[in-house]
Chains A and B, each alone.
Chain A
Amino acid sequence: MSENILEIKGLNKYFGTTHANKNIDFSVKKGEIKGLIGENGSGKSTLLSQIAGLYPRDSGRMLLNGREYDPQSPIDANNCGISMVMQELGVVGTLPAGVNVFLGRTSQFTRNGIVNLKALNKAAAEQFAKWDLPKVPLNELTDGMMIETRKIIELARALSVDPQLLLLDEITQSLSMNNRNRLYDLLKRLKAMGRSVIVITHDVEELIQITDSITVLRDGAVVGEVLSAKTSPDEIKRMMVGREISGEYYRADMKPDYRNKVVLSVKNLLVENEIEDVSFDVHEGEILGLCGLSDSGIHAVGKAIYGLTRRSGGTVHLVAKGLDIKNSTMALKNNMAYVPKDRDNEALMINASILDNLSMPSLSELQGKFGYIAPRKTKRLASDMTKKLSIKCTDINQTVNTLSGGNKQKVNLGRWLAKDLKLLILDCPTRGVDVGVKAYIYSLMKELKKEGIAIILISDELPEVLGMADRLIVMKGGRVAGIIRRDEDFTEHSVIGVMI
């Protein structure tokens, strides 16, 4: 049992000048379920990707069963008995489910150059049966399937390699409760078979429950390893952030504190297949939290309010103006702002300058006679914001992709703060930023709250909404499952109770 299947010594990985993995020493025993945890950007996915052969390491050694292991490709890794389910990969929608299970390895079903689809589907069905996975229509294209189904196909794909070492990156969050339990059983079975698993998940309690030992990463380096049986969520969280976190940068008061005036009134919001019958009011100076499991629809609510998705019913009423917000252009015009979750693809123009990014939402305010936008005005706005948020850059003409994650997020927020806001929608504003910037963002939110701006805070991180929100809307399956006030039973435990 104590023999190591995988041993990593002094591994380093750089992306440009970013030191993503620092001198990592890491090992997994045979028959061990290993947890890997760390904040966003701590380098855990990077580490797994190197083990799975997705990209090469820059230095260090990897030993598999005591022998030098240097995978050139995922296929290479598969051949060595290592397979991975990636966090944000998915399946090919234009191919049937069965083909997806064996994609890239279809040649094993080839006879005389022709792929025997029947044999392929049979083999796929055998995998589903062997590992006790819920049945999936193998002949259908995966395009119309639910996220959970697709994830299970990915899992089947990884298991079909018959791996000695299975890597799971954030898979539980897209599974429903039943299938999560199936996964836990599966892990137990793999363990009993003497196989090893490395699991990444953000859910600390879950990780402790399902693993044998946990390695914690911070800023690309291993900060420690603990036995799951002998640790507590608090200890792990402390290791993750490197200091006590409770009450440090969140709000200290435990009372809802906002004005009576309603800024935005949402009634019976309906977006097909995403959310239904969502109603709430947001008040001046209120931080309204929204939380829920991964397909609870919290992110869809933010998009729908800002008019980015076509809604099939309900109203989003901007009280002061007496307007119903129908599209994002209207929202922009009426002092609303939206910070999307996917910073690099949805929020920022990554190859454009800081100047362009900061000034883009304010162009209407900056234009003079004949629509003239003076370069002098945009420059002033950009340099003011850069100074105010202390964005680290050489000058405002620098392109945004040369900034660090935290500074990118400051640009993302700063472009809205230049405006006279009434309502700010934040979707996971602290995703992928380090602790310092995180604290800064919370302080900004408090400042905005004081100014009477209404904030809708959508977050995957429960401590964050609990720490900041006046009221918390808990969503489940696209519906509002409960609204909890800050002075009521405002604990993780009670919220999870409503969530699940």
Chain B
Amino acid sequence: MQPLQSTQDSIKKINQNPLIFFLMLIAIIAAFAVFFNFVTGGDFLERTNVTVIISHIVWPTFVAWGICFLFACGYTDLSIGAIIVLGSFATCIFGNWYGYPGVMLGGLIVGTLLTFLNFNVFAFTEIPSWIAGISLAMIYEAVAVFLKVGKSTADLIYAEIDKSLRILGRLPWSIILLAAGFVAAYIIYNRTTVGLNIRAIGGNKEVAKALGINIVKTLLWVGLISGIFIGIASIVQESVAGRTTVRTGLTSIYVVFQPLAIVLLAQILQKRINIIIAVPICAVLIYAVFNLLTILGVPSGTLQEAFLGAFLILFGIIGQRGYKGVVK
């Protein structure tokens, strides 16, 4: 029989076991945590700080999972930040009106609807998604401003969401939500027909087409799935923060930068570990770094942004290592 093997060299095989790699990763994070703790004189691993880290990674993690589906089929959407802002407003308004059902449905419906709308634009106009996303972000930001300047709406969006409605931003509920989200994302990404079809489109569009996968339909599914994750993210965001500020001049794109950094880092680890699993790990890692920077007194909004930009470029560079195709 003709030997058929993959061309991967055997040295790499030793590290192939994902479980071992996963444990290694956890060990590295633990080591870093201890090191950070040492640097900050015990502040880092202090209980309240750990709670802060955990409750703050939940919504970026959800956004990052949403972005995973986008990236899997080869699309980018820079309007997600603006969608989260609008979703958070909906959470706040409907939450204050209808209690918990309002909290859940408000953010979820707005997030899902808008992301779904975006994918209609991407699928039908064939405008490259990054620039279409920028245009849509401008429009959604404008909508947020309309709400802000309108007399009747301004009070609604700037009213803080009722304290009793914010349990999704606190332990243990945020962790439970995170676990549920993880299971859902993992199953959809790895164990459903639509998940496999999404990845097929990103991997090789021609093959996907020839095997009868409906490209447009699948893209709309991506909009729906990502939209749900982004909708949940906006609910959690509002629950954690209590209120959301209007962002204009494309500054809403900044909102997705941390999640974007998470996904880029997760993509680097993807060869060894499923990206859905990698996302929360990377979220902890990145948030911990920024938390450390804050504790060390690096001003946020200025120098921290500079670090974020640098991280993004760095992860991008590492992720593209050895890539031979054409990149625009």
Task: Using known A-B contacts A115-B191, A134-B4, determine if residue A95 contacts B211 with beta carbons closer than 8 Å.
Answer: no
Select one of B196, B200, B208 contacting A115, CB under 8 A.
B196
Please indicate which of the listed interface residues A75, A92, A105, A178 has the most CB atoms of chain B within 10 Å of its own CB.
A92
For residues 109 through 123 of chain A, which have their beta carbon under 8 Å from a beta carbon of chain B?
110, 113-115, 117
Flag if A91 contacts B207 (CB, 8 Å): yes
Query: Is there contact, CB below 8 Å, between B8 and A144?
Result: yes
Residue numbers in A under 8 Å from B192 (CB-CB)? 110, 113-115
Chain B residues with Cβ under 8 A from A115's Cβ?
191-193, 196
Stretch in A146-154, A278-286, A357-365 touching the partner: A146-154
Q: What is the bound-complex CA distance between A74 and B210, given in angstroms?
A: 7
* Residues of chain A contacted by B191 (CB below 8 angstroms): 114-115, 117
Q: Provide the residues of chain A in CB contact with B7, threshold 8 Å.
A: 144-146, 273
Q: Does A240 contact B (CB under 8 A)?
A: no
Closest to B201 in A: A92
Inter-chain contacts of B193 with A (CB < 8 A): 106-107, 110, 115
Closest Cβ–Cβ distance, residue B205 to chain A (whole Å): 9
Measured between alpha carbons, how far is A148 from B7 in the docked complex, in Å? 12
- In the bound complex, residues from chain A placing their C-beta under 8 Å from that of B208 are 92, 103-104
Docked CA distance A149–B6 (Å): 8
List, in ascending order, chain A residues with CB within 8 A of B72's CB.
Answer: 94
B211, closest chain A residue (CB): A104
Contacts of B210 in A (CB 8 A): 54, 74, 86, 89
Residues of B within 8 A of A179 (CB): 2
Bound form: Cα–Cα A145–B210 in Å: 21
- Distance, CA A140 to CA B7, complexed state (A): 12
B residues near A231, Cβ cutoff 8 Å: none
Q: What is the bound-complex CA distance between A179 and B190, given in angstroms?
A: 32
Complex Cα spacing A250 to B31, Å: 72
Please report the C-alpha to C-alpha distance between residue A191 and residue B62 in the assembled complex, in whole angstroms.
54
Query: For the complex, is B319 an interface residue (Cβ under 8 Å from A)?
Result: no
* B207–A92 touching, CB < 8 Å: yes
Contact mask for chain B residues 190-228; partner A; CB cutoff 8 A; 1 contact, 0 none: 111100110110111011101111000000000000000
Are A152 and B4 neighbours in the complex by a CB distance under 8 Å? yes
Of A86, A94, A134, A135, which one neighbours B203 at CB under 8 angstroms? Answer: A94
Q: How far is the CB of A102 from chain B (nearest CB, A)?
A: 9
Residues of chain A within 8 A of B187, CB atoms compared: 114
B196 touches A99 (CB 8 A): yes
Contact B1 A95 (CB under 8 A): no
Please, which residue of chain B has its CB at the minimum distance from the CB of A74? B212
Band of interface residues on A: 35 or more
Is A353 among interface residues, defined by CB-CB distance under 8 A? no
Which of chain B's residues have a CB closer than 8 A to the CB of A398?
none
When the two chains form their complex, are residues B4 and A146 in contact, meaning their CB atoms are under 8 A apart?
yes
Residue A383 at the B interface, CB < 8 A? no
For the complex, give the distance between the alpha carbons of A73 and B215 in Å: 13
Known contacts A92-B199, A114-B192, A115-B196; A103 and B207 CB within 8 A of each other: yes
The residue that B204 contacts in the complex, of A91, A107, A144, A148, with Cβ under 8 A, is A91
Can you list, as one digit per residue, whether each of A45-85 has a CB less than 8 Å from chain B (1) or not (0)?
00000000010000000000000000001111010000000
Distance from A139 Cβ to chain B, minimum over Cβ atoms (Å): 11
Taking the nearest CB of chain B, how far is it from the CB of A168, in angstroms? 15
Q: Is residue A329 contacting chain B, with contact meaning CB distance below 8 A?
A: no
Chain A residues in 8 Å Cβ range of B207? 89-92, 103
Partner of B211, one of A103, A113, A149, A273: A103
In the complex, what residues of B have CB within 8 A of residue A94's CB? 72, 199-200, 202-203
The answer to whether B199 touches A95 (Cβ under 8 A) is yes
Task: Determine the distance from Cα of A105 to Cα of B200 in the docked complex, in whole angstroms.
Answer: 12
**CB-based contact A95/B8 at 8 Å:** no
- Chain B: minimal CB distance from A97 (Å): 9
Q: Give the residues in chain B near A178, CB-CB below 8 Å.
A: 1-2
Q: Which residues of B contact A73 (CB under 8 A)?
A: 212
CA distance A107 to B193 in the complex (A): 6
**B200 engages A134 (CB within 8 Å):** no
Q: Which 9 A-B pairs have the closest CB atoms?
A: A104-B211, A75-B212, A94-B203, A92-B203, A178-B2, A144-B6, A106-B193, A92-B204, A144-B8
23 CB-based A-B contacts, threshold 8 Å: A54-B210, A74-B211, A90-B204, A92-B199, A95-B200, A104-B211, A104-B213, A106-B196, A106-B197, A107-B193, A113-B192, A114-B187, A114-B191, A115-B191, A115-B192, A117-B190, A117-B191, A134-B2, A137-B5, A145-B7, A148-B2, A152-B4, A179-B2
| Extra A-B contacts (6), CB below 8 Å, given A106-B193, A114-B187 | A90-B204, A91-B207, A104-B211, A145-B7, A176-B2, A178-B2
